[in-house]
Amino acid sequence: METVLFVTSEAYPLAKTGGLGDVSGSLPRALHSLGHEARILMPAYRDTLERAEAHGKVREVAGFDIMQGRVRLLETVLPGTRVKVWLVDYPAFFDRAGNPYLAPDGQLWHDNADRFHLFARTAVEIACDRVGLNWQPTVVHCNDWQAGLVPALLSLEPTPPATVFTIHNIAYQGLFPYETFVALGLPDALWSHHALEFHGHLSFIKGGLVYADRINTVSPGYAQEIQTPLFGYGLDGLLQFRTKRLSGILNGIDTREWNPGTDPHLIQNYNSRKLDDKQVNKLDLQKGMQLSHVAELPLFGFIGRLVEQKGIDLILDAMPQLVEMPMQLVMLGTGEARFEQELSDWSERYPDRVSVTVGYDEKLAHRIEASADMFLMPSKFEPCGLNQMYSLRYGTVPVVRRVGGLADTVTDTTTETLADGTATGFTFESSDGEALLATIRRGAELYADRTAWRKLQINGMRCDHSWRRSAAGYQALYEQARRDSTPSPEVLG
């Protein structure tokens, strides 16, 4: 049995800005089902604390000094589970309105380096059983740059537990000027390009990539891609160097939260035997979004961050032709102001065809998944992607770019794949509006063939993307990490 300290900056439903929150909210529970003990360590953001208190007991279990300040450790459980959560309570850093990483004005918090440095130091104290909890993990599982300093700092300890570092998105690296490295009081030994330095800057993510016993990312495809200059964001060389320690484990989805048969957000539940009922949701959404009520028009959905990564520019490039086609588009997301504006302009010009909701809305996300006929994910890169898996489960056919986790989870529809029952969606290669448009046309064409379409939906609904399978992958990874955890010459550089 493994005892895992799961270090993350978000965990649904206590905090979530994207896929990391979903994974952190699901994987620890799946590990429990396999007989392991995973405890989540995350910051006590203001919203998080409020949510935890609303759901149940929060009690102080430790208090200790980190650098200049006193940290309180609060214990609660992940709502709806028995997974223990430790919240790092340091009000000066975490008791604020806004997002975990961004101030209300949309800018990064000015003190993110201090905040996640303190968070990492706290993780190290707990991992080394120095805070009076009488608990020590066999594995410290760190996620993304916010937890990147943990493996680096643990490497300086005489007998550290094994470490795993998961890359959920390599584009976010936690880069800060050299002065920050000095101000944080990090040991000089960590300042070299074999350690935390990245082109003269302090890189938090390198702490994970250089020092963790095992590195993984959230799909096998992305694990390969990030070792190339196109996807590696400058870290491809380091990842190639550590290739033997690097693997990919596809994320699972929370099948309780995302189940069309029981989803409380839907006006009508359905399953693969009652697929006609899906239509009720579509009509309801069309009504709610003031689109024309035409059941036969293929409805395309999009949910996600409105940023370049998600291929919003491809959708915008295709928009002049899309609005001429017999189709509708419902989009939900927040992100870059220019994308929010341009998309909203399209929905104002074609209100019966295009609906754009700027905002974050769990309920609407569920309704879109249930109502759409197809789901667009034309991402530039996609470490794993969750919405295409939700879509498969909801009988909503994904239209995706063939990258990362999208390539690993969606099988293109061809005569052969339709015949052998493996077709689940539509994929395309090149990152441009034309290719997206051509693929949307392919989808719309097949949509007219009701028998083939039903088959495609059912193929997708049969896929198993539950956490059970992925958690077994992590179990194996933890074992490997423990085997590898004696410092290797490679790491000592």
Residues that bind ligand ADP (CB under 6 A): 18-19, 22, 303-305, 332-334, 360-362, 365, 384-387
Residue 15 φ/ψ, nearest 5 degrees: -160, 135
The CB-of-378 to ligand ADP minimum distance in angstroms stands at: 13
**Helix H segments across 195-277?**
204-211, 220-225, 229-232, 236-241
3-class DSSP state of 52: helix
Nearer to ligand ADP, 86 or 222 (CB): 222
The CB-of-143 to ligand ADP minimum distance in angstroms stands at: 12
- Please state, in angstroms and rounded to a whole number, the distance separating the CA atoms of residues 412 and 190: 46
Nearer to ligand ADP, 359 or 493 (CB): 359
The CB-of-92 to ligand ADP minimum distance in angstroms stands at: 28
The CB-of-333 to ligand ADP minimum distance in angstroms stands at: 5
- Residue whose token pair is 């293109």: 412
Query: Reading across the β-sheet that carries 374-377, which strands appear in turn?
Result: 354-358, 328-333, 299-303, 374-377, 397-401, 426-428
Nearer to ligand ADP, 84 or 141 (CB): 141
- Please state, in angstroms and rounded to a whole number, the distance separating the CA atoms of residues 436 and 438: 6
For ligand ADP, the nearest residue by Cβ is: 19
**Helix H segments across 192-325?**
204-211, 220-225, 229-232, 236-241, 278-288, 312-322
3-class DSSP state of 133: coil
Find the helix packing angle between 19-33 and 467-484, rounded to 10°: 80
Nearer to ligand ADP, 306 or 471 (CB): 306
Whether the CB-CB separation of 457 and 443 falls below 8 Å is answered with: no
The CB-of-401 to ligand ADP minimum distance in angstroms stands at: 13
Nearer to ligand ADP, 66 or 218 (CB): 218
Smallest Cα–Cα separation from 433: which of 329, 306, 311? Answer: 311
The CB-of-18 to ligand ADP minimum distance in angstroms stands at: 3
Nearer to ligand ADP, 180 or 251 (CB): 251
Which residues of 234-273 form beta strands (DSSP E)? 246-248
Nearer to ligand ADP, 210 or 249 (CB): 249
- Please state, in angstroms and rounded to a whole number, the distance separating the CA atoms of residues 375 and 460: 13
The DSSP letter of residue 188 is G
Nearer to ligand ADP, 125 or 373 (CB): 373
Nearer to ligand ADP, 209 or 332 (CB): 332
Whether the CB-CB separation of 271 and 278 falls below 8 Å is answered with: no
β-pair type (139-143, 3-7): parallel
- Please state, in angstroms and rounded to a whole number, the distance separating the CA atoms of residues 283 and 135: 53
The CB-of-379 to ligand ADP minimum distance in angstroms stands at: 8
The CB-of-361 to ligand ADP minimum distance in angstroms stands at: 5
The CB-of-390 to ligand ADP minimum distance in angstroms stands at: 7
Nearer to ligand ADP, 26 or 155 (CB): 26
The CB-of-253 to ligand ADP minimum distance in angstroms stands at: 9
Whether the CB-CB separation of 346 and 374 falls below 8 Å is answered with: no
